[in-house]
Structure 1
């Protein structure tokens, strides 16, 4: 079971404070803290591009988040929750906006304009590396805010995609790298007890020497979609 968002681990919270200090930020009103919290608050100050371009501390892991029409933000990995269906990575900002990912998929958020408070899979989705060309079906249950909508059931088709996907990539992901170095997958909602979501896209590659989902595009509602990228970009599959 996912831990409640209010129970941020002490170790994880200390790590984000230390990270902020190592990057030259002394308080929650610094430019970096504004960038980290802006995903939920929509307060974008000047200088965010130069902050994202700066070398992040290699002791910590970062997730670059982009929402259409807004500047990108960086979140910091606070801690990892072991789970039978795959470890859950907990990413959060200096003001505690939270995104939880499991095998690259968003499985929980807090502090965003649309939140998935919890996600459950009656059966674990197929492993990326074990997926055949014909794809697989799986079910997802999610609790959504606002609106207090619980156990929304999505029936999803997961399939591999050859070549570049039909999406607009961010400037942070070179088209040649996306085409030649990553293995792509699509997830399409075939049926849902709520409004169906746009397709999700996942790029599988290497980061820090480990195979993982390095980039994805996932929608929490029909109009609120996120681009997630492990940061900084370091390696390819070649």
Structure 2
């Protein structure tokens, strides 16, 4: 699998993602410039990543301007043709703004920027396929968050569809896997930290697994999550 990491003006986690994929996971990875109208030789077996940061300074809404970057037209086509697209933090916001994922990311419940480690647990088809496919990772991961607009929201009908289709990938919880008000850092509806599209080839999450991929950092839980992308063929089968 080859990875492409999009670089927007204001991206500040693109190098983190590039390094995590290349050096911690030993994968082929290339940067993709936001003004490019060509994503190059990516097949549907590959994955394009939208990293975290503050694309276009977060003017209007987070991800609202990046959604109209020239490269996004190609990425939307790539996703619609079955290609895998993965968005983290600002990348998740862009995916929602572009319509590749349902719902929206709103201002954090307490109207404050959050930067800390949180706990999340696998859910939906991600949990079923990953934990049953003998890649038995812990169900609870400690992953950093860093956002001001990370409160996931969807209307009742959309939320019910996410649940019934198993599209909720991760939920915020405490270190024991229990969902409590205190363990939900931003007030996300139903403790949602990450979701997929109905076709299960587009993934988005607010926490930053690329910041937890090395023993040097004292945390490799993020490496487990990124490694699961290498199993995406099994996940979407």
TM-score normalised by L of structure 1: 0.31
> If each structure's strand is expressed as a fraction of its own residues, which one has the higher value?
1
> If each structure's helix is expressed as a fraction of its own residues, which one has the higher value?
2
Larger radius of gyration: 1
TM-score normalised by L of structure 2: 0.31
Task: With a CA cutoff of 8 Å and minimum separation of 6, indicate the structure with the bigger relative contact order.
Answer: 2
